[in-house]
Amino acid sequence: MTDSHGRHISYLRISVTDRCDLRCRYCMAEKMRFLPRNQLLSLEEIALIADRFIERGVRRIRLTGGEPLMRRDLPDLVRRIGRHLADGGLDEVTLTTNGTRLADHADALADAGVRRINVSLDTLDPAAFAHLTRGGDIASVMRGIAAARAADIRIKINMVALRGINEDMILPMLRWCDAQGHDLTLIETMPLGDTGEDRSDHYLPMHEAIAPLRSAHAITPLPSRTGGPARYFSVEGMKARLGLITPLTANFCDDCNRMRLTCEGRIYMCLGHEDHVDLKGAFRTGGMAALDREIDRALRAKAPRHHFEIHGDGTQGATVRHMSVTGG
């Protein structure tokens, strides 16, 4: 699949639920209104739509949320999609999770073909974690990480850099990741949805976020990519790779290879735009032929870039929908 700007689309991110058991301050409001369950795609529909994307050239699928492990029988969906790993139709099926339920599902995910996951973890301090997540227990996340390691699933930690909240914890997180055998990706906060707080208060440009790292370790660019937007670096004296995702300070849209399927069956061609096509309606009324027509329409409509900006006087390019709707 190729969009109207000549970019090859090989990566599909699927949000299987907009629900989450945490309320991270940069992601959600404290009180959220989630979609009624009867508006969601069934797991069978998700699997069939994923099948069609794979037939059309998608090579990587990431399951996201909300918190994807809140979706009942998620391992069944992973097994259904993961069968394409054996026949060569798919290179990878992965997962992004907050880790709170991972201990109960790690073995099943590994059995279904998941070989690596991203765990969202913005601090190692239990009190800071509870504050940032509005009540979360970091012990459950650590149990989940341990279970995934025991199941031979590789782990990358995703950490959103936040001024005044965790900027002094970035170097300790990197050193912890190195000791544990994990890679670390740092992410600039993105203006998605109303969280009840002013993002400009906590926006931390990446060059500032990594300044303490650069003062302690030489950082060298690496050519390797994992299919997503992160640029990777080696860190002097460490085995852990450092990834940087910079939607505001260094736009990465020129080589975008992604589309996002929401749990209610919408394709968002870009995380930073509200434009979408309704695959659920097309599939339920017209089957695979209608699904293909809407996928083609999505490819033609994919924007050249997003327009996220955060300034002291406000946020530009913000979307109404929260991150949990389209998935991280």
- C-alpha distances out from residue 1 to 6, 11, 50, 81, 303, Å: 9, 10, 14, 19, 15
Q: Which of 195, 212, 203 is nearest to 165 (CA)?
A: 203
Sole residue written with tokens 């970035």: 170
Q: Which two tokens stand for residue 90?
A: 């798919």
Q: Is 32 flagged in the annotation as binding?
A: no
Backbone angles phi, psi at 51, to 5 degrees: -55, -45
Would you call 295 exposed, middle or buried from its count of C-beta atoms within 10 A (0-12, 13-18, 19+)?
buried
Q: Is 19 flagged in the annotation as binding?
A: no
Q: Is 258 flagged in the annotation as binding?
A: yes
Q: Is 260 flagged in the annotation as binding?
A: yes
Q: Is 79 flagged in the annotation as binding?
A: no
Sole residue written with tokens 């650069």: 214
Q: Is 328 flagged in the annotation as binding?
A: no
Q: Is 31 flagged in the annotation as binding?
A: no
Q: Is 62 flagged in the annotation as binding?
A: yes
Cβ atoms of 99 and 68 closer than 8 Å:
no
Q: Is 203 flagged in the annotation as binding?
A: no
Q: Is 253 flagged in the annotation as binding?
A: yes
Q: Is 228 flagged in the annotation as binding?
A: no
CA–CA gap between residue 179 and residue 243 (Å, rounded): 17
Q: Is 215 flagged in the annotation as binding?
A: no
Q: Is 120 flagged in the annotation as binding?
A: yes
> Please, which residues bridge with residue 314 across strands?
311
Q: Is 83 flagged in the annotation as binding?
A: no
Judged by DSSP in three states, 99 sits in: coil
Q: Is 13 flagged in the annotation as binding?
A: yes
Q: Is 256 flagged in the annotation as binding?
A: yes
Question: Residue positions in the annotated binding site?
Answer: 13, 20, 24, 26-27, 62, 66, 96, 120, 156, 190, 253, 256, 258-260, 270
Question: Residue positions in the annotated binding site for [4Fe-4S] cluster?
Answer: 20, 24, 27, 253, 256, 270
Question: Residue positions in the annotated binding site for S-adenosyl-L-methionine?
Answer: 26, 66, 120, 190
Question: Residue positions in the annotated binding site for GTP?
Answer: 13, 62, 96, 156, 258-260
